[in-house]
Structure 1
Amino acid sequence: MKLRVGFQLTYACTQATPAVLMMNTHPSMAQNVLEADRISFDPPLSFTHYYDAFDNLCTRIVTPSQGPLIVATEGVLDVPDMQETYPADGSQHPVESLPVDCLQFLLGSRYCETDLLSDTAWRLFSGVPAGRARVLAICDYVHGHIKFDYRFARPTRTAFEAHSEGIGVCRDYAHLAIALCRAMNIPARYCTGYISDVNLPPPYADQDFCAWFDAYLGGTWQTFDPRNNAPRTGRVLMARGRDAADVPISMTFGDADLIKFKVICEPHE
């Protein structure tokens, strides 16, 4: 299935401001790309690319000194037209046998306070069989515990706060599930990107960037989505890291306010 993804974001600029953007599809999606999502700027400006410690493609710019800046991209990917399925092996690895690069995803991070949620995790999930069954139980719990509401979105909300408040948006679902998994010695990493509405019944909400997480089970990173808590068709990764602090869509070092945005994720003929 061909899937068109992209966006148009408008920033209000009052001074020249350095920024780092993570707005392209992740390099791991390269084999799916039919038309590359090359980033563009209006007014035109110079930029450079680099890859961060999590292999995310990052773009460095300096915004104009005044006026709006429009950042846009559009690409086409070939993705499976079937709903997601899990690999056969969903076993949990003992900590001592985990690959070294997984260990950082067992630790607490800016938005995922494993120390504050450890007792809760073990009380709720120690009786669930280790492995995928435990991760799915965590997703079920988070999906039922948090009420989704854009009106109460807060960029500083942590996993512990999301659990205490019982409300949030997709990043809060992901952060809470990640923290609970890590507390149960399951490596988990934060993911952000596009999720299509293909194979879902209407009505459809306006598209937005979405968050989910990967858990390391059976020797592979496997995708889980506590916000939707159901398989989806057409999930496209943009960036991943320990939590949302590692993967902001845009990180500005000064004044540059996002004042308008439109996200595209739809079938392409």
Structure 2
Amino acid sequence: MLIRAGYDIAFASSQAVPMLANLSVHASRNKDLRTAQRIFTTPDVPLYDYVDGFGNICTRLTMPAGGITISCGFVIEDAFEPDLVVPDARQTALADLPDEVLLYLLASRYCETDRLTEAAWGLFGHVPQGWSLVQAIVSWVHHHIRFDYLAARPTKTAFDVFHEKVGVCRDYAHLAITLCRCMNIPARYCTGYLGDMDLPALVGDMDFSAWFEVWLDGRWYVFDARHNYPRRGRILMARGRDAADAALTTTFGMVTLTRFDIYTDEDRLG
């Protein structure tokens, strides 16, 4: 399937503000792009890209006084297959984990393993290791949290979500990641596009989405605690330990978000 995706985002500011943006499709999907992916700004400002330690394409720019609009649109080819389900995938012993995977067992900004380890083992200590354990965590988080955009806040951590029982997709991901790490399963945060083409009906205004990946049997697998079933059409933008590593925009000064339009749909004209 060809998927048309993009965004039109605007910020206002009374002064020039440096910005870091993870608004490009992840480099691992570059081969799937069927049109050029170029970020435009109004007014036009210099842009500089680099690849961070997680493989994300990061764009540096400075928002001028008054504000800026950032936009991008592209067409990408996607197999549109559901997330892979491998019920017999085994949990890797800690001693056998690759060095580069160990990072995803540690506490991070939004994933406080030290505050939830006791709860995690109390909830899931009896569950067989491997895929069954991850799915038990995902299902529990899915039913534990009530989705509510009004409950979102940038400071909310997995520990907060555990107790408040309400949040948005990134909160589902943070709590599931933390519980997986507490159970010695490496887990990392993902963000990107996830449209509604595989759903029977529209679910509201389009937004970027968050999910996560776990390391089982020598590879990474996708899980989604908000939806709790295999979805189709994910377009990865950024990965990291949590949302702090994969923030779509980070501003180094006071700004106000004034427009946030995201689209993802089937490109029937391709």
**Structure 1 segments of 4+ aligned residues over 6 angstroms from their partners:** none
- Provide closer, same or farther for how the CA distance between residues 215 and 59 of structure 1 changes in structure 2, counting only shifts above 3 A: same
CA deviations 1:35-91 (Å, max 9, x no partner) are 13211101111111001110100000011122x311000111111133222257611
Q: Which amino acid in 2 is paired with 1:127?
A: H
Q: Distance in 2 between matches of 1:211 and 1:109?
A: 17
Q: Which amino acid in 1 is paired with 2:16?
A: A
Q: Is the 8 A contact 2:188 2:214 kept in 1?
A: yes
Per the alignment, residue 150 of structure 1 pairs with 149
Moved more, 86-95 or 18-27: 86-95
TM-superposed deviation, 1:248: 1.1
Per the alignment, residue 13 of structure 2 pairs with 13
Per the alignment, residue 235 of structure 2 pairs with 236
Q: Which amino acid in 2 is paired with 1:235?
A: R
Q: Is the 8 A contact 2:145 2:166 kept in 1?
A: yes
The yes-or-no answer on 1:262 pairing with 2:266 is no
TM-score by length of 2: 0.97
Unaligned runs of 5+ in 1: none
Moved more, 242-251 or 199-208: 199-208
TM-superposed deviation, 1:238: 0.4
1:77-116 aligned within 5 A? 77-87=76-86, 90-116=89-115
Per the alignment, residue 43 of structure 1 pairs with 43
CA deviations 1:80-120 (Å, max 9, x no partner) are 13322225761100011000000010000010010111011
TM-score by length of 1: 0.97
Q: Is the 8 A contact 2:87 2:132 kept in 1?
A: no
Q: Secondary structure at the match of 1:139?
A: helix
Per the alignment, residue 247 of structure 2 pairs with 248
The yes-or-no answer on 1:178 pairing with 2:177 is yes
TM-superposed deviation, 1:237: 0.5
Q: Which amino acid in 2 is paired with 1:222?
A: Y
Q: Is the 8 A contact 1:89 1:218 kept in 2?
A: no
Q: Distance in 1 between matches of 2:77 and 2:86?
A: 20
Q: Secondary structure at the match of 1:245?
A: coil
Q: Distance in 1 between matches of 2:86 and 2:130?
A: 12
Q: Distance in 2 between matches of 1:259 and 1:89?
A: 47
Per the alignment, residue 161 of structure 1 pairs with 160
Q: Which amino acid in 1 is paired with 2:113?
A: T
Per the alignment, residue 212 of structure 1 pairs with 211
- Compute the RMSD of aligned alpha carbons: 1.1
Q: Distance in 2 between matches of 1:74 and 1:44?
A: 17
Per the alignment, residue 64 of structure 2 pairs with 64
Q: Secondary structure at the match of 1:180?
A: helix
Q: Secondary structure at the match of 2:24?
A: coil
